[in-house]
Amino acid sequence: MSDKIEEKNTTVFGKETEFVGNLRFTDNLEITGKFEGTIESEGNLVIAKNAECSADTITAGSIIISGTVTGNMEAQDKVELRQGSVITGNIKTARLKIDDGVVFDGKVTMLETLPDVNIFDCKVSELNEAFSR
């Protein structure tokens, strides 16, 4: 996988792969070809450089885009728009990173997330780490 997200199983749709339909998965997916449809996942999604994704909606744990995406997306953790990516659609996420050289046409809604830590029963270093995410 070109972008390490987590140590989970990763499925790769190769450059020659074209998929049309509804896609559900729980681990990680990297699209390097063409996708059209709907994506629903608790896992992580990578849209590689030169990949094309036209989606009604994309829902995933995190989304990293280096290619072209048309459609609305929501990520519980983060969305990263890498240099050279082209995005048309609205984004909902807790964290957003946009590199220089990104073409983006849409609205952004930031999700409010609270750290998953008990502030009364942890070390100061753990609390600082939780709030810095």
Averaged pLDDT score across all residues of the chain: 87
The pLDDT of residue 112 is 80
Residues 68, 26, 44, CA angle at the centre, nearest 5°? Answer: 40
Count the domains in the chain: 1
Q: How confident is the model at residue 5 (pLDDT cuts 50, 70, 90)?
A: very low
The string of pLDDT tens digits covering residues 87-99 is: 999 999 999 999 9
Q: What percent of the chain has pLDDT over 90?
A: 70
Q: How confident is the model at residue 7 (pLDDT cuts 50, 70, 90)?
A: low
The model's pTM is 0.79
79 is a domain residue: yes
The string of pLDDT tens digits covering residues 36-85 is: 999 999 999 999 999 999 999 999 999 999 999 999 999 999 999 999 99
4 is a domain residue: no
5 is a domain residue: no
SS (H, E, C) the chain: CCCCCCCCCEEEECCCCEEEEEEEECCEEEECCEEEEEEEECCEEEECCCCEEEEEEEEEEEEEECCEEEEEEEEEEEEEECCCCEEECCEEEEEEEECCCCEEECCEEECCCCCCCCCCCCCHHHHHHHHHC
Phi and psi at 56, nearest 5°, equal -65, -55
87 is a domain residue: yes
45 is a domain residue: yes
d(CA 25, CA 67): 20
97 is a domain residue: yes
Residue 4 above 70 pLDDT?
A: no
94 is a domain residue: yes
Range of the domain at 100: 10-132
82 is a domain residue: yes
Q: Residue 90, Cα to own-chain centre: how many angstroms?
A: 13
